[in-house]
């Protein structure tokens, strides 16, 4: 086996973990270099993956899919950082140098914990194996200490093999899926279509091209969690004076075309507006916001919303002459 040459310095623990662009902010995680005495043993606390920088690292390991996935990220979704994790650490050659210099030579504590890995470390080095040793770590908390105790201290991952991601909890995957959920805004249609009239109800219907139920699945090799978002209520807003009939069903009014045509002035309807003055300065604007209920395994996670492009509503006034008859 190769021995360290006289004067050769051991490889320090320094590995940049790839960052990704999230919500316009570049986030990266870095495993920092050790003191001159050599790298701390795995599970020492807090190096590398922690806080928001951790999610650049974690999310790069997760695959997203589904009808609600467009690649966008909702940065308002709070995802607690993991209390323990595993991260890439050293190549086979780097690990061998570290083991021989610090562990086998007795230059660091905890040597007994390394005994189960000693032969594998040497065999992988001798065979020039391609891959990366992953190491466990934690955030320094009591919960993290318990969490990291359930992970292997180190684990070899051959080139092309899936990484060890069993430390990512199912709820964390679900929240990550929720943060990648893009719900759809409604496209509104009014009836009457071209001109409405003062005191005459203006019906509103809506279309949602991707459907009223969307999902996003967050997957790792050992698990996948799916979040569903289902359309709930449609709310209207307008800059014109009058009354709004809401909340509406997700697709707006359920009246048939014949029922709409037969509805007279002053009537109460299930979805739409009734204006009290004509739009003499230009048509009024009417928009709709669709609320979505997001769930995971049937449990409520969040209410999401999307507002569609406004439609114009010209409102005229029907003039009449009262001769006293």
Q: In the predicted model, is pLDDT for residue 104 greater than 70?
A: yes
pLDDT score for 320: 52
Write out the H or E segment, with its range, that includes residue 113. Answer: helix 111-114
pLDDT digits (tens, 9 = 90+) for 237-260: 999 999 999 999 999 999 999 999
Regarding pTM above 0.95, the answer is: no
Measured distance CA(254)–CA(241) in Å, rounded:
24
Average pLDDT over residues 9-28: 25
- In whole angstroms, give the CA distance from residue 197 to residue 202: 8
Give CA–CA dist 116/53, Å, rounded: 32
pLDDT per residue as tens digits for the range 204-225 = 999 999 999 999 999 999 999 9
Average pLDDT, the chain: 83
Most confident of 39-43, 71-75, 247-251, 278-282: 247-251
Q: What is the mean pLDDT of residues 84-113?
A: 88
Average pLDDT score over residue span 80-103 = 90
Task: Please report, for the chain, the start and end positions of each structural domain, with discontinuous segments joined by +.
Answer: 15-168, 187-316
User: Is pLDDT at 180 greater than 50 in this prediction?
Assistant: yes
Q: Within a 10 A sphere around the Cβ of 231, how many other Cβ atoms? A: 23
pLDDT reported for residue 264: 94
Q: Mind spelling out the 3-state secondary structure of 243-299?
A: EEECCECCCECCCCHHHHHHCCCCCCCCCEEEECCCCCCCCEEEEEEEEEEEEECCE
- Quickly state the pLDDT bin for 43 (edges 50, 70, 90): low
Q: How confident is the model at residue 153, as a pLDDT?
A: 93
In this predicted structure, what is the pLDDT of residue 93?
Answer: 96
Task: Indicate whether 149 pLDDT > 70.
Answer: yes
């Amino acid at each position: 086996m190769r021995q360290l040459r006289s004067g050769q310095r051991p490889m320090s623990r320094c590995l940049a973990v790839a960052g990704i662009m999230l919500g316009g902010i570049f986030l990266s995680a870095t495993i920092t270099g050790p003191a001159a005495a050599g790298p701390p043993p795995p599970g020492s606390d807090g190096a590398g993956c922690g806080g928001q920088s951790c999610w650049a690292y974690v999310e790069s390991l997760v695959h997203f899919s589904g009808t609600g996935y467009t690649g966008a990220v909702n940065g308002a979704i709070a995802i607690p950082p993991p209390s323990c994790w595993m991260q890439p650490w050293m190549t086979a050659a780097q690990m061998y140098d570290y083991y021989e210099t610090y562990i086998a030579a007795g230059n660091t504590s905890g040597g007994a914990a390394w005994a189960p890995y000693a032969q594998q470390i040497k065999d992988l080095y001798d065979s020039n194996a391609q891959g990366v040793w992953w190491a466990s770590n934690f955030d320094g908390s009591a919960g993290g200490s318990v969490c990291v105790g359930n992970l292997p201290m180190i684990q070899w991952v051959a080139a092309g093999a899936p990484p060890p991601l069993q430390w990512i909890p199912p709820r964390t995957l679900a929240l990550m899926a929720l943060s990648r959920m893009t719900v759809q805004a409604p496209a509104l249609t009014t009836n009457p279509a071209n001109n409405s009239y003062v005191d005459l109800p203006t019906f509103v219907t809506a279309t949602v091209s991707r459907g009223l139920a969307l999902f996003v699945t967050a997957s790792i090799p050992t698990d996948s969690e799916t979040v569903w978002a289902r359309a709930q209520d449609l709310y209207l807003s307008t800059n014109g004076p009058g009354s709004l009939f809401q909340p509406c069903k997700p697709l707006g009014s359920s009246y048939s075309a014949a029922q709409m045509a037969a509805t007279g002035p002053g009537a109460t309807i299930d979805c739409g507006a009734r204006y009290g003055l004509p739009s003499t300065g230009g048509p009024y604007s009417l928009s709709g916001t669709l609320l979505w209920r997001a769930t995971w395994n049937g449990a409520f996670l969040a209410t999401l919303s999307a507002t569609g492009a406004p439609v114009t509503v010209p409102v005229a006034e029907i003039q009449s002459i009262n001769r006293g008859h």
